[in-house]
Chain A
Amino acid sequence: MKRRSRRALIYLALVAAQVFALFPFWWMITTSLKHQVEIFGGLEFLPQAPTLDNFAALFDRYNFGPFLANSLLVVAFSVAGSLLLGTPAAYALTKLPTESWLQRQALIVVLLVRMLPAILLVIPFYLVLANYGLLNTRLGLILVYTGLNTGFVIWLMQSFLAEIPRDIEEAALVDGDSRLSALRRIVLPLAAPGLAATAIFSVINIYNDFLIALTMTSTPDAQTIPVGVSTLIGKIQIQWGPMAAAGVVGALPIIVFALIVQRHFVRGLTLGAVK
């Protein structure tokens, strides 16, 4: 009896947490489906006359297409790039003697970049990009994000890779693999949950970034969704409807991606947590 009431309490708490977490989302979706009049009209939980006008306006009038494309491109390339750079580096770090001076120093140096607030890095990055004519380009953004995110990838992947038993990799070496093919065929598949978790964190970090994108870009040629949405805040009026629509469209790729890697992701989180 006591156990059941405890369970009920736990579920109640979980439901409350869900409502708390999902309500803004619900509000965003309903708002995106309401007419301007209705948005300002009062607290309606369901749109009285659902409309897709906001979405149409978003793409027709507010140029959302290029923003979305820029975001997807920049995120895809910088996440792929930082995984490609960071994972081999993390692998190499696991081959240093565990907890050795060298390993610790290397990890601290890698972390240093992450510890600096982004606002401190914005100006140097701006100057470098300006120097190479990469301001307001997607390539420029990709380079900055890749650089910033690689350290994060090294840290996460280092702890995931360190948990793969040495014996298993060595068995592959004895069975006839080279270091590289053992890494590709045995180590990386075993690190897949870690890769998925790292990838999703990276995607969210980069996709959400506002400060760097705002500084490095100036036109829809390279501006990303967060910057694009900010243009909906006019001097006189805030376009709530299209803004909510932008939120919905902007959240979609992340949700789809999260659903795809979800299975790995949860395993990845707990895998890392054991350490």
Chain B
Amino acid sequence: MELRYELVCKRFGAADALIDLDLHAPDGCFLVMLGPSGCGKTTALRLLAGLDDPTSGRMFIGPRDVTPLQPRERDIAMVFQSYALYPHKTVAENIEYPLRIRRLTQTDRQERVAQVAKMLNIDAYLERYPRQLSGGQRQRVALARAIVRQPQAFLMDEPLSNLDAQLRFQMRAELKRLQKSLAVTTVYVTHDQLEAMTMADLIAVLSNGRLQQLATPAEIYARPANLFVASFCGSPPMNLLHGTVTNGHFQRAEGTFPIDNGPASELVLGFRPEHAQITMRGAPDSFAGEIYVVEPLGSETLVSVKVGADRVNVRVWSDFQGQIGDHCGVRPDASRTVLFEKDSGQLIKGSTSGSSKQPGTGGVRESA
């Protein structure tokens, strides 16, 4: 089922938790709501689940306006951040609870529970109580309870945030596969941009209760709608250099860079770490800088360069030889840069091509 928020606002006392949220997730879509803690993600999810009432606005599940409906009438399943398993019920009883409420026969219930438990590899623990399970197992039980029936939509509130890194990596892949095989529209809430980028069909970036951008991960990566999205998504995030525009050039004290005719005002030049090169100082279209730190990541190396008061990250091949303190230049890849208006923070010119992630070529070997 497609999901839609229409101008949804939620106010707690004097504080706005959600402002004019307008969102549409097509049928079968994996929508990730991404934003820092406190930006209103959980609030948005609870509104859609019917656990809170919006201050204004409407929500739709498929063609139904669910705004006035009780949670149980909305036919959705939710995975809580705390998992919210029923502590006095066994794993099997937890999973079958939604079916029991729907008065399925015992054989039907047992069959569904067995099937789901097998799918999620928890069939060995069906007789245990939640307190006898590890975090990862509890997470699977919560997931099993959600998928045991075929709801109109899945809502998941940071389901992986309580797991260790290894398990998170593993569950990310499994969740994505699971969602694709079930083909049920899913709203997944996280503050982890990596989870969003890796799992989502669509990402909705939220900040301070406002939707910043709704787009595919590739689009968000290549053309973030504003400075907030640019600095929140990607690890390390997009490089942002402040400067002015004169005569078709972006200017800073450390150098200039040719751009399409932007408005003659103060701008921010953005580029991804892999869309720039380390050059010798003074090379054309580069900004003069000094290597701040070199971080080998194995397959590639991340070089942090101090450009004036700002820091810029550049991804280079792992045979990079520069040292801390070396003088160098940074030259963005002209076809991959984006420009933001300084005051509004909005994107002015989209980068011209997609977002292939190739480490930048050509590291300088000598210091200037």
Q: Which A residues are within 8 Å of any B CB, using their own CB? A: 165, 167-168, 170-178, 181, 186, 189-190
Contact of B102 with A168 in the complex, beta carbons under 8 Å: no
Binds A, one of B80-88, B245-253, B281-289: B80-88
Chain A nearest Cβ from B1, distance in angstroms: 16
Contact of B97 with A174 in the complex, beta carbons under 8 Å: no
Which residues on the B side are within 8 Å of A168 (C-beta)? 84-87
Q: Does B76 contact A (CB under 8 A)?
A: yes
The 10 A-B residue pairs with the shortest CB-CB distance in the complex, in nearest-first order: A167-B84, A171-B84, A176-B101, A175-B98, A173-B71, A176-B72, A174-B78, A167-B80, A167-B82, A168-B84
Contact of A177 with B84 in the complex, beta carbons under 8 Å: no
Residue of B nearest to A186 (CB): B86
How far, in whole Å, are A186 and B93 apart by their CA atoms in the complex?
Answer: 12
How far, in whole Å, are A178 and B145 apart by their CA atoms in the complex?
Answer: 18
Which residues on the A side are within 8 Å of B76 (C-beta)? 174
Which residues on the B side are within 8 Å of A181 (C-beta)? 101
Given contacts A165-B82, A174-B72, A175-B72, 10 further A-B contacts (CB under 8 A): A168-B85, A170-B49, A170-B80, A170-B84, A171-B78, A171-B80, A172-B97, A174-B76, A175-B98, A189-B88
Which residues on the B side are within 8 Å of A178 (C-beta)? 70, 72
Interface SS, B side = loop
How far, in whole Å, are A174 and B88 apart by their CA atoms in the complex?
Answer: 18
Which residues on the A side are within 8 Å of B85 (C-beta)? 168, 171
How far, in whole Å, are A189 and B93 apart by their CA atoms in the complex?
Answer: 14
Residue of A nearest to B82 (CB): A167
Provide a sorted-by-A list of 6 A–B residue pairs whose CB atoms are within 8 angstroms: A171-B85, A171-B145, A173-B71, A176-B101, A181-B101, A190-B88
How far, in whole Å, are A238 and B81 apart by their CA atoms in the complex?
Answer: 67
Q: Does B211 contact A (CB under 8 A)?
A: no
Contact of A174 with B77 in the complex, beta carbons under 8 Å: yes
Chain B nearest Cβ from A173, distance in angstroms: 4
Which residues on the B side are within 8 Å of A171 (C-beta)? 78, 80, 84-86, 145
Q: Does B51 contact A (CB under 8 A)?
A: yes
How far, in whole Å, are A178 and B73 apart by their CA atoms in the complex?
Answer: 9
- The verdict on A190 contacting B101 (CB below 8 Å), with A165-B82, A170-B51, A175-B145 known, is no
Contact of A190 with B87 in the complex, beta carbons under 8 Å: yes
Chain B nearest Cβ from A82, distance in angstroms: 25
Which residues on the A side are within 8 Å of B97 (C-beta)? 172, 175
How far, in whole Å, are A177 and B84 apart by their CA atoms in the complex?
Answer: 15
Q: Which of B48-64 contact A (CB under 8 A)?
A: 49-51
How far, in whole Å, are A167 and B46 apart by their CA atoms in the complex?
Answer: 11
Chain A nearest Cβ from B111, distance in angstroms: 19
Which residues on the A side are within 8 Å of B49 (C-beta)? 170, 174
- The verdict on A176 contacting B102 (CB below 8 Å), with A167-B80, A167-B82 known, is yes
**Chain A CB within 10 Å, residue with most, of B72, B102, B145:** B72
Which residues on the B side are within 8 Å of A176 (C-beta)? 72, 98, 101-102
Chain A nearest Cβ from B358, distance in angstroms: 44
How far, in whole Å, are A177 and B145 apart by their CA atoms in the complex?
Answer: 14
Among A165, A174, A177, which residue has its beta carbon within 8 angstroms of that of B51?
A174
Which residues on the A side are within 8 Å of B82 (C-beta)? 165, 167
Which residues on the A side are within 8 Å of B71 (C-beta)? 170, 173-174
